[in-house]
Amino acid sequence: MILVIYLIAITAEAMSGALAAGRRNMDIFGVVVIAFVTALGGGTIRDMVLGNYPIGWTQHPPYVYLVVSAGLLTTVIARFMKRMKHLFLLLDAMGLIAFSLIGSDVAIRLGYDPLVVVMAGMITGISGGILRDVLCNQVPVVFRRELYASVSMTVCLLYLGLQWLEVSIGTSTAICFAGGLALRLAAIRFGWRLPVFSYQERWE
Amino acid sequence: MILVIYLIAITAEAMSGALAAGRRNMDIFGVVVIAFVTALGGGTIRDMVLGNYPIGWTQHPPYVYLVVSAGLLTTVIARFMKRMKHLFLLLDAMGLIAFSLIGSDVAIRLGYDPLVVVMAGMITGISGGILRDVLCNQVPVVFRRELYASVSMTVCLLYLGLQWLEVSIGTSTAICFAGGLALRLAAIRFGWRLPVFSYQERWE
Amino acid sequence: MILVIYLIAITAEAMSGALAAGRRNMDIFGVVVIAFVTALGGGTIRDMVLGNYPIGWTQHPPYVYLVVSAGLLTTVIARFMKRMKHLFLLLDAMGLIAFSLIGSDVAIRLGYDPLVVVMAGMITGISGGILRDVLCNQVPVVFRRELYASVSMTVCLLYLGLQWLEVSIGTSTAICFAGGLALRLAAIRFGWRLPVFSYQERWE
């Protein structure tokens, strides 16, 4: 079940990467790289930080073919994607939660501290998008959009809490999914954002 | 002793990250991420390059809580920080030297070549700030400010030299601190900079 | 033989990094860092992704001294480099192919899947230049120039194919070199590019 959602997630992330590449007029190769990095970069950074070798996608070539195909397909269907905006946001939200849960699981399995478990979930959920934005030469949107990283953090904390209460993995996952999805969709719908910190003085 | 200075250092670095995030109007989450990356990113990159797992902060959750708190606190006290400019530059200089010495020690302990020891010290000292600037979408300031990376290099070379002369760790550390701090503060005071390389032809 | 070409390659890459730093008016230290990252960053990322520790340059200090020297030398001879444009492009093409073959070899030796072998070759070949451009705050040129990454991919695929056909390493390397060089030089000469994906709608 979580595998299916993971595959949907990396597909959605790859498409978001391809669109970002298109905004910078990149060539087909650039599109594929940005799609790959957006979809699989978060897990790669998590594995490098946790020392979890070999890194996931190196053992699962089909994941790589999937995100490359999704990136290329995006260049063909981009003109229709605006109409699918709501579907796309839904898939992206599902991806965020799937990434967070998978990332937490990796850190739990390696015996890391609960804090590191939550951070591993968040790193998996958001750093693909951060790499995408850095490679496209813009300030990462995750640092100033509606609740997104906060959803990842909430899901990871909830997951840890349910495991601590000895709720079964299946039930925990379902609860985290429902809760996380509700929170993210409400944030989009009502424009919930974290407070912004503006500081314009220069003296350093 | 070096631990106390390390804690001061990551606090000062976290605050510098939070201010940079504020200049880009990031939300609270962005502030926390940039604070974390600025303070602990240098050590993370060093550990990933040297293959030194598990990475430092994953074994010391209090360090993470400290830098997150420092980042959040900065959003509250930012308006007063300009007046503390000199204190801030002093803490930052102490942090640079502490990071350099700690980074060198890690590479020495792992048995790396002296060149790698110096580079490990410099990576620890400056790459947190480089990551901060990349995430804030600007050319890293360390590549064009007063002597900074050079101070890190000088401190690492001095430290290696003193160890080679079999001076005790405590004495070496004290000498490096005094020398490094004097050099950095003099560089700020007198505006010492490395020569700049300007090249504007386009042909590649 | 491949070692000699590798040394030429990292020298050429270091010089390209130094010129990019000069375009951003960096100081001598910035020049050296960008030269180092451009020349040795691709191999570093490959090793970190494949978990191939210790990382290459940490075991070969002369490589580091070579790229640092090349970076510094560039600041002196930059004014004459425009006239050597064709030589420079030739060295850069040789470097791209040497990096690709060396990167493929590392992944083959570690027993990775053929897909990962090709990706390891490409990561070695192009990510130094990507890091250079990110640190210089611009969209990586490799995402929009004449055939470059595609040459790396072609060379890696050809190399794998020849090994599968049990052609000797020496012959395979020579064939890949000749083919890759011909393809890259033809791409420069005739301006061959991959199709570009432009997408300017904003709705995400």
Phi/psi for B66 (5° steps) reads -60, -50
Cβ–Cβ contacts within 10 Å for residue A186, how many?
14
- CB of B40 within 8 A of CB of B64? yes
What is the arithmetic mean of pLDDT over B112-117?
A: 96
User: pLDDT per residue over A50-86, tens digit each?
Assistant: 999 999 999 999 999 999 999 999 999 988 877 778 8
Chain A, 55-84: which have a CB under 8 Å from a chain C CB? 55, 58-59, 61, 64-65, 75, 78, 82
Looking at CA atoms only, how far is residue C143 from chain A in angstroms? Answer: 4
Nearest to A188 by CA among C203, B33, B22: C203
Q: Is B28 on the interface with A (CB under 8 A)?
A: yes
User: Do the beta carbons of residue A8 and residue A94 sit within 8 Å?
Assistant: yes
What percent helix, strand, coil does chain A show, rounded to 5? 80, 0, 20
What percentage of chain A exceeds 90 in pLDDT? 68
Please report residues of A whose CB lies closer than 8 A to that of B34.
143
Burial of B77 (0-12, 13-18, 19+ CB in 10 A): exposed
Q: Which residues on chain A are in Cβ contact (under 8 Å) with B31?
A: 197
> How far, in Å, CA of A112 to CA of A71, rounded?
34
- From the list B1, B6, B29, the residue with the least C-alpha distance to B135 is B29
Q: What is the DSSP letter of B195?
A: P
Instruction: Please give the residue of chain A at the shortest CA–CA distance from B53.
Output: A51
pLDDT at A7: 92
Closest CA to C96 of C152, C39, C175: C152
In the structure, what pLDDT confidence band is assigned to residue A28 with cuts at 50, 70 and 90? very high
Smallest CA-to-CA distance from B110 within B125, B98, B120 is with B120
Residue C201 has pLDDT above 80, yes or no: no
- Residues in chain C within 8 Å Cβ distance of B201: 82
pLDDT > 70: what percent of chain A?
A: 99
Mean pLDDT (whole number) for C103-110: 95
Q: Which amino acid is at A25?
A: N
Q: Do C82 and B144 touch (CB under 8 A)?
A: no
pLDDT on residue A80:
81
Average pLDDT value for residue range B170-177? 92
With 80 as the cut, is the pLDDT of residue C72 above it?
Answer: yes
Across the range C54-77, mean pLDDT stands at 95
Backbone φ, ψ for residue A196 (5° rounding): -100, 145
Q: Of C54, C82, C137, which is closest to B137 when you measure between CB atoms?
A: C137
Nearest to B34 by CA among A46, A144, C41: A144
Residue A88 pLDDT more than 90? no
Query: CA–CA separation, B99 vs A153, rounded Å?
Result: 29
- Nearest CB partner across the interface for C143, out of A27, A53, A134: A27
- Rounded to whole angstroms, the Cα distance separating B190 from B192 reads 6
pLDDT in tens, C145-181: 778 889 999 999 999 999 999 999 889 999 999 999 9
Q: Do B195 and C21 touch (CB under 8 A)?
A: no
B193: contact with C, CB 8 A cutoff: yes
Closest partner CB to C137 (pick from B48, B139, B195): B139
Contact (Cβ atoms closer than 8 angstroms) between residue B46 and residue B124 = yes
Measured from the Cβ of residue A166, the count of other Cβ atoms closer than 10 Å reads 7
**Is residue B11 within 8 Å of residue B66, measured between CB atoms?**
yes
- In tens, the pLDDT along B131-169 reads 999 999 989 988 887 788 899 999 999 999 999 999 998
pLDDT tens-digit map of B91-111: 888 889 999 999 999 999 999
Give the closest-approach CA distance of A28 to chain C in angstroms. 6
- Rounded (10°) angle between helices A85-109 and A169-190: 140
Task: Give the residue from chain A lying closest to B71, CA to CA.
Answer: A197
Q: Could you give the ipTM of this predicted complex?
A: 0.90
Quick: pLDDT tens for A126-174.
Answer: 999 999 999 999 899 888 877 888 999 999 999 999 999 999 988 999 9
Direct distance between the N- and C-terminal alpha carbons of chain C, in angstroms, rounded to an integer: 51
Q: Does A54 contact C at CB distance below 8 Å?
A: yes
Map residue C146 onto helix, strand or coil.
Answer: strand
State how far residue C108 is from chain A, nearest Cα, in angstroms: 12
- How large is the average pLDDT for residues C133-146? 88
Return phi, psi of residue C196, to 5°.
-100, 145
Q: How crowded is residue B113: how many other Cβ atoms within 10 Å of its Cβ?
A: 14
The set of residues, in sequence order, having a beta carbon less than 8 Å from that of C104 and lying 6+ positions away, is C117, C118, C120, C121, C156, C159, C160
Task: Using an 8 Å CB-CB cutoff, list chain C residues near A16.
Answer: 204
Q: What is the pLDDT of residue B54?
A: 95
Q: Which tokens belong to B132?
A: 């901060």
Name the nearest CA neighbour of C173 among C126, C112, C88, C108: C108
Q: Count the neighbouring beta carbons within 10 Å of the beta carbon of residue C105.
A: 19
Residue C93, token pair as written in the block: 């093409």
Q: Is the separation of the CB atoms in C36 and C64 below 8 Å?
A: yes
Greater confidence (B81 vs C100) lies with C100
Q: Which of A76-80, A85-89, A183-187, B190-194 has the highest mean pLDDT?
A: A183-187
Q: What per-residue confidence (pLDDT) applies to C204? A: 60
Enumerate the domain spans of chain B: 2-190
- Helix, strand, coil shares of chain B as percentages rounded to 5? 80, 0, 20
Report pLDDT for C3.
86
- Chain C residues in contact with A34 by the CB 8 A cut-off are 143
Give the model's pLDDT for residue C203: 64
